[in-house]
Amino acid sequence: MDSEAGEVPMMKRLAGSLRSCGWSRTLAAAALVLLMAMAAAGQQQPAATKPAGGDELPDKVEVNAFGGGSFFQAVPNGLGTKMVNGGAFGFRLTENFWRYVGLEQAFTYSANNVRFETPVAPGRPQNDFGHRIYQYSLNPVFYWTERGSKIRPFLTVGVSAMYFAPTDTAKGWARSPLNVGLNAQNLDANIHPALNYGGGLKWHLTDRWGVRFDVRGLTSKNPTFRLPDYPTGGLYIPRDNLLHGVQTTAGISYYFGRKAEAPAPPPPPPAPLPGLNAGTLSVGPGTLCQGRAITVRNTGASDPAGRALTYKWKVNGQPMGGNAPELTFTPDRAGSYKIEMDVEAENTPNHPVRTASAPPLTLSVQPYNPPTVSNVMANPAAIQYGQTSTLSAQGTGSACSTIQFQWTVTEGTLQNATSATATFDSKSVKFEQGGKIQSKTITATVRVTDDRGASATGTAQIKVDFIPSAIRFSDVIFSKNSARVNNCGKRILLEEVAPKAADPDYEVVLIGHIDQDEVSKTKKPSDLDMRRVLNAYAVLTAGGGTCANVDKSRIKVTWVGTEQVSDMQPGLCGTAARPASKERAGQLVSTADQNRRVEVWLVPKGTKMPAAFKEAKQLDEKLLKKLGCPK
Domain boundaries, the chain: 4-44+58-256, 280-365, 372-466, 471-627
| Cα–Cα distance, 324 to 60 (Å, whole number) | 45
Three-state DSSP at 586 gives: coil
| Cα–Cα distance, 81 to 128 (Å, whole number) | 9
pLDDT of residue 4 exceeding 50, the answer is no
| Cα–Cα distance, 574 to 568 (Å, whole number) | 12
Of the candidate ranges 6-10, 128-132, 162-166, 477-481, the one whose mean pLDDT is the lowest = 6-10
Residue-wise pLDDT for 194-247, tens only, equals 999 999 999 999 888 999 999 999 999 999 999 898 888 888 899 989 999 999
Residue-wise pLDDT for 75-85, tens only, equals 988 888 999 99
SS (H, E, C) 248-301: EEEEEEEEECCCCCCCCCCCCCCCCCCCCECCEEEECCCCCECCCCEEEEEECC
pLDDT band at 256 (very low <50, low <70, confident <90, very high): confident
Percent above pLDDT 90 for the chain: 45
Q: Which of 27, 44, 461 is nearest to 215 (CA)?
A: 27
CATH topology of domain 372-466: Immunoglobulin-like (2.60.40)
Percent above pLDDT 70 for the chain: 85
The pLDDT of 132-147, averaged and rounded, is 93
pLDDT band at 37 (very low <50, low <70, confident <90, very high): very low
pLDDT of residue 532 exceeding 90, the answer is yes
| Cα–Cα distance, 560 to 189 (Å, whole number) | 109
pLDDT score at 573? 62
pLDDT score at 181? 81
CATH class of 4-44+58-256: mainly beta
Residue-wise pLDDT for 302-348, tens only, equals 888 778 888 999 999 899 888 889 999 899 888 999 989 998 887 77
Average pLDDT, the chain: 84
Three-state DSSP at 456 gives: strand
Of the candidate ranges 84-93, 209-218, 261-270, 356-365, the one whose mean pLDDT is the lowest = 261-270
pLDDT score at 589? 52
Looking only at the bridges linking them, the beta strands covering 476-477 and 555-559 are: unpaired
pLDDT score at 591? 65
Of the candidate ranges 236-250, 259-273, 280-294, the one whose mean pLDDT is the lowest = 259-273
CATH class of 280-365: mainly beta
pLDDT of residue 409 exceeding 90, the answer is yes
| Cα–Cα distance, 106 to 216 (Å, whole number) | 12
pLDDT of residue 162 exceeding 50, the answer is yes
* Homologous superfamily, domain 471-627: OmpA-like domain (3.30.1330.60)
Which secondary structure element, helix H or strand E, spans residue 173, and what is its range? helix 168-175
Contacts of 309 (CB under 8 A, 6+ apart): 301, 302, 303, 343, 344, 345
The pLDDT of 363-370, averaged and rounded, is 91
Answer for the pair 69, 248: CB distance below 8 angstroms, yes or no: yes
Positive or negative, the Cα torsion across 484, 487, 490, 496? negative
Q: How far is CA 278 from CA 271, 293, 358, 589, in A?
A: 20, 24, 5, 105
The pLDDT of 184-188, averaged and rounded, is 88
Three-state DSSP at 503 gives: coil
pLDDT of residue 397 exceeding 50, the answer is yes
pLDDT band at 258 (very low <50, low <70, confident <90, very high): confident
pLDDT of residue 413 exceeding 60, the answer is yes
pLDDT of residue 158 exceeding 90, the answer is yes
Same fold, 280-365 and 372-466: yes
DSSP assignment of 18-74: HHTT-S-HHHHHHHHHHHHHHHHHHHHS-GGGSPTTS-SS--SEEEEEEEEEEEE--
| Cα–Cα distance, 370 to 409 (Å, whole number) | 24
Answer for the pair 334, 391: CB distance below 8 angstroms, yes or no: no
Residue-wise pLDDT for 563-576, tens only, equals 999 888 887 664 44
Answer for the pair 381, 460: CB distance below 8 angstroms, yes or no: yes
| Cα–Cα distance, 484 to 475 (Å, whole number) | 14
Q: What's the angle, vertex CA 564, arms to CA 561 and CA 570, rounded to 5?
A: 105
Q: What's the angle, vertex CA 208, arms to CA 205 and CA 210, rounded to 5?
A: 35
pLDDT score at 10? 39
